[in-house]
Every structure is written in C-alpha cells, then in structure tokens.
Amino acid sequence: MSRTAKRGKAMREGSEGIEVKVFSLSELGRVRPNNEDAAAVEPLPSGKVLVVVADGMGGHERGEVAAQTAVDVVVAHVKAEAERLEDLPLVGDPEGERRWLELLEGAVRLANARVFELAGKWEGRMGTTVDVALVDSRGGVGVHVGDGRVYLFRRKGEILERLTDDHSYVFTLYKEGHIAYEALREHPQRHIILRAVGAEAHVTPDPLRLEWSAGDRLLFCTDGLTQHVDDGEIATILGTTSNLDTAGSELVGLALSRGGTDNVTVVLLEAGEEDGR
C-alpha cells in the first residue's frame, strides 16, 4: 500500500441537523518500505458514520494484508447489518447501545477469524490492531483491540480524554504502577502487543462509549502518531487549530518531523454547530 491521503468533506448526518466533519490521512513515514496501516470512513444511510482504523503486524506483506482484510470485513459486515438496527439510537438508550455494540463486536470477531485463517495458510503469525466506531450527532459506540488509540477532545474546558487502553506489555506495566505514563513512548519493549485481531483463534474487544457536543473532536490514530507525539501536544493542536484538515495534517507532520519511524494514520471527526452555524 503506497502513501495515501484523504482529506474529508463535511458530511451532513444525524436527525438534529449537526454537521460532522471528517479528515483522514495515512502516511508511509520515513523508514518503513510499505504502509501496514489501513483506514475507512463510511457514512451510512441512517446518518451514522462508521470509522475503522487498523495497524497490521507480521512483517512486510502480512501486516498490510491483515490490516486491509480487517477493515474490509468490518465495513462489509456493518454496512450489511446496520439497516435492521437503524431505528435504534446509539446514545441514551441501553438497548440500542447494546445492539450496536454487539454488531461491532461481531464484525471484529469475523475479521479475527478471517485474518487468523490467512495466517494459517501463510504458516506464520499475523495480526492487526483495530479500532471501530459508529458515531452520530449525539455520540457513539465502538470497540478496540491493540495499541491504536481513540481520543475525545472536548472543546469546553479544552480537555483531551483517552478512551482506550493499549493492549501492550508496557501499558500493563503502567497500569500496575511500574512505570510512568510518559515512559510508554520510550520503553524498549513498547512494541509487544498482548491482544490483536487475527493473532489467536478468538479475540475480546474493549467496548467504547462517548457523547459529544458541537466543536468536540474525535481522534483515531495508530501508534505511528503516539510514539512521537504526546497527549499534551495532541491536545494543544486540537485546541488551537480551528480547521480540521490543518489540525490533522499538523499531527501527522509532527510525527514525521520527529523521525516518522512507523506508518502514521490519523482520522479526525468534529461535531459542528446545529444547522451548519
């Protein structure tokens, strides 16, 4: 997969007339010979927006195939099944939230089975991180596997919330109090992933839930960003850059300027004002 860039158009979605803007960019980086990241942003007929971001592992073609396979399987399954749930809200209704989460979890399990099958045929381990979410004008639900991250930047109060925990050895050390959060990016064992789609016959994703307001931004990224750009810098760029395309490009550009040692993928969504104001 060669260097790819997609700078999104504003999309109208949601029954409340709130505009959701989308930016997506994936860069090869300065070191890697190929791009093992994959991403998709798909508006659904119901007004919801589907986001999928994956970072493959397994070396050369295997990581690339794992990531793209997972994205393709998730998108196809969600688009095929979403119509039967379209009247159920994503936010504020326990039954709706449960059903939508089950759909996303099922999509990730299908992706896991497909990647695991491919790994068996190639007689080698392969896998991918996956972050999936469905959002609308009020918020959304999602699922998470691996060390990609999802952040919510709240315009009110300029607060950055990390919605995911890394499924990695070093993040476990952090949660157990053995290392500081700031040490995650520099730890020599930071690349050891404990949970990935396709690495084992079964996988259990973490659920995500969020509510957002006008001006809030939702960031999906692979670790090619977070190993070079810390949370404080992410918050500063999201809080001081009014244009979504500029904010996304600055995040990717900062990672590249600091070595770009991995592929870098960023997907940004922003909730706009009601009626486009």
Q: Write out pLDDT tens, residues 78-112.
A: 999 999 998 899 999 999 999 999 999 999 999 99
Q: What is the pLDDT of residue 179?
A: 85
**pLDDT at 158 > cutoff 60:** yes
Q: 185-221 burial string, b = 16+ CB within 10 Å, else e?
A: eebeebeebebbbbbeeebebbebebebeeebbbbbb
Report the share of the chain in percent with pLDDT over 90: 72
- Dihedral angle of Cα 43, 49, 50, 51, to the nearest 10 degrees: 110
Domains and CATH numbers, the chain: 4-274 (3.60.40.10)
Rounded Cα gap, residues 205 and 165, in angstroms: 11
Assign 60 a pLDDT band (cuts: 50, 70, 90): low
pLDDT one-digit tens code per residue, 41-54:
999 988 899 999 99
pLDDT one-digit tens code per residue, 137-151:
899 999 999 999 999
pLDDT one-digit tens code per residue, 206-253:
999 999 999 999 999 999 999 999 999 999 999 999 999 999 999 999
Q: 22-44 burial string, b = 16+ CB within 10 Å, else e?
A: bbbbbbbbeebeebbbbbbbeeb
Assign 14 a pLDDT band (cuts: 50, 70, 90): very low
Assign 8 a pLDDT band (cuts: 50, 70, 90): very low
Please compute Rg for the chain using Cα positions. Answer: 18
Q: What is the pLDDT of residue 274?
A: 52
Rounded Cα gap, residues 128 and 196, in angstroms: 5
Q: What is the pLDDT of residue 188?
A: 80
- Going by C-alpha positions, the residue among 218, 223, 200 that lies closest to residue 23 is 218
Rounded Cα gap, residues 165 and 180, in angstroms: 14
Mean pLDDT in residue range 257-276? 85
Integer angstrom CA distances of residue 228 from 28, 138, 153, 256, 262 = 15, 31, 19, 8, 10
Rounded Cα gap, residues 184 and 229, in angstroms: 12
Assign 124 a pLDDT band (cuts: 50, 70, 90): confident
Q: What is the pLDDT of residue 184?
A: 83
Rounded Cα gap, residues 195 and 245, in angstroms: 32
Query: What value does the mean pLDDT of the chain take?
Result: 89
Backbone angles phi, psi at 267, to 5 degrees: -125, 125
Q: Which two tokens stand for residue 269?
A: 């969504």
pLDDT one-digit tens code per residue, 168-193:
888 888 888 988 888 887 888 878 88
